[in-house]
A and B are shown apart, each in its own frame.
Chain A
Amino acid sequence: MGNLKGKYCIVGVGETPFTRGSGRTTRAMGAEAIRHAMDDAGLNSQQVDGILSYHGGDSTPATSIMYDLGIRPNFYMDCSGGGSSTEALVGLAMGAIEAGMCDTVAVYRSMNGYSQIRIGGTGVRAAQPVSGADVMLRPYGLISAVQRFAFTFTRHMMEYGVTSSDLAHIKVAHSNHASNNPKALMKQRVTVDDVLNSRWIIRPCAHLLDCCLETDNATCLIVTTTERAKDLRQRPIQILGVQGRGTKPGGDFHYQHGPITRVAGHYIGPRIFEQAGITHDEVDVTGCYDAFTYTALLQFEDYGWCKKGEGKDYVTSGIINLGGKRPNNTSGGHLCEGYTHGMNMVIENVRQLRGTIDDYCPQAEEGIHTYDYSEGKCRQVKDAETSMNMGWGTPAVGSALILRK
């Protein structure tokens, strides 16, 4: 990142409750998430002059929401995209500021992902008639996200001997984390057997509990310069590296190109570690996108946290648990906190690095934590200094972000 490393930071984060039935518009939720992030940062509407959003035809664009809040942007853009957009838009926000187009950018995502347009393929996602490249897939009953990824998952199970039990450990870890997160949609701790006994969605790679939670929610984070951050409310969290949306050959139809068990992180990982100038060992906490348990496992392998084929050992070793060497998705992630196309995992890591996780510790609001990770207690990682997010769009598309306090 050259001379940009550490020049930009995240100064505010905010979200609406994670619900299944928000009872309101994506416009109302988006405005609330931005307002919470501005309050968190200590910024007013006149001090935010850039807005970025992403959507899949399922949200309210910045052109409406910015005026709701009295923001007059010098720069705004609504981007088309789902998973892995968050990290990429953090990079675009830095670019917009660096280019002199604006000074402070709010990045938001707002979706009624349960009550209006479900990722699994209802609402406008099930619209008829089908056209474009989907005419090659929908006649065969292929519609949902997990189905689009499943050829990668099944082939990986064959080549590397991954079992449903291995995958279940990811859900178990994230559910343990969510039990210490008052915001989480699913706070109940689950066992490996709970996952294996939940009904099948796609065999052999996804039981119901291997799948994330379709959620109504809006999220926001605010990016500005480290210089500007000095007189704001929160400890600024520096951006050490950002990549996105990086791809592997072949895009949507990457199944033509081998190996199909390889994901975009294979290409993104070396770039971001070089950019940030750090090693894997310096990362204290990860946010590895868990649209499905398998998306997390594949990214752990291809970003180099373990060797190819050893992801099953990585996720069952305890490393990813709170109290382990490098906890993953301490909020519970998409599997348990709620599905927001990745931004909630970046927000969680910002709070981890600030040391201000909102858990059940009696003095959490003062930043005092017990580090007792049993149910209903703490989820602050002790002395967390560096985090990494790995966003997933498809097996072929991803983004990454490295932050430091």
Chain B
Amino acid sequence: MPVYEHRGQQMSVPDQDLEYTGYFDAAKEGRLVVKKCQGCGLLRGEPGPACPWCPSQEWEWQDVSGKGTIYSYQIVAHTVIPGFKDWAPFAIVLVELDEQSGKPEPGDGLRITANLVDSNMDAEKEENVAIGKRVEVVFQKSEGDFVLPQFKLSGEAPQGPVWSHVT
């Protein structure tokens, strides 16, 4: 049973926790994966064992491009987690991946959570964090063999409005 460690926190991912194991196994190989329903074919970023639309329990891991857009964010100015205190302020972003944007219903999307990091895997500067900016996945090596999917700004032109609280 792998117990991963990152910034002083231990994450237990037992072999039987099939909804999670593949996500971190793929990250070790530099791949970002989501679940693909074998019933209706829709992708989902959430960790559950069943498809919220059809609701088949048959699914497989599917590679995705790792490109997307910041859909929302939070700048953590204060954290209670000891291992993150020297990292604050840092951004946690909700990334809408390019695959399946606006599906199956308008406003739906394949959205996953990660930090926004710079090219040195440090926290991206707050003034650079904005809804609407384009991002791409990067893989952060942590303690042991733990690899964490993260996102960095891709520099691509935004496809819609850009909004930030920093004026």
Q: Point out residues on A near B: beta carbons under 8 Å.
A: 120-122, 126, 128-133, 135-144, 147, 150-152, 154-155, 157-158, 199-205, 249-250, 253, 255-260
Contacts and interface: CB of A to CB of B under 8 A. Distances in A.
Contact of B74 (A138, A205, A257): A205
B108 interface: yes
A130 B12 contact: yes
B94 interface: yes
Contacts of B108: 256-258
Given A131-B12, A258-B108, A147 B80 contact: no
B153 interface: no
A253 B20 CA distance: 15
A342 B92 CA distance: 28
B144 interface: no
B10 A129 contact: yes
Given A139-B148, A147-B76, A257 B107 contact: yes
A350 B6 CA distance: 48
Nearest to B129: A203
A141 B77 contact: no
A154 B73 contact: yes
Interface of B: 3-4, 6-7, 9-14, 17, 20, 23, 44-48, 52, 71-81, 84, 87, 89-90, 92, 94, 105-115, 126, 131, 142, 148, 163, 165
A142 B11 CA distance: 13
Contacts of A204: 75, 165
Given A155-B131, A203-B77, A258 B109 contact: yes
Nearest to A158: B163
B124 to A, nearest CB: 13
Q: A-B pairs with the 8 shortest C-beta distances?
A: A258-B107, A204-B165, A129-B10, A253-B46, A150-B74, A200-B77, A203-B75, A129-B12
A202 B113 contact: no
Given A139-B11, A139-B148, A151 B109 contact: no
B3 to A, nearest CB: 6
B76 to A, nearest CB: 6
Contacts of A126: 80-81
A158 B44 CA distance: 25
A151 B94 contact: yes
5 contacts: A135-B20, A147-B76, A158-B72, A255-B71, A256-B46
A142 B7 CA distance: 12
B107 A259 contact: yes
Given A120-B80, A256-B108, A151 B74 contact: yes
A143 B80 contact: yes
A122 B13 CA distance: 22
B134 to A, nearest CB: 16
Contacts of B87: 141
B81 A249 contact: no
Contacts of A135: 11-13, 20
A141 B115 contact: yes
Given A120-B80, A138-B11, A133 B47 contact: yes
A128 B78 contact: no
Given A250-B46, A255-B94, A202 B10 contact: no
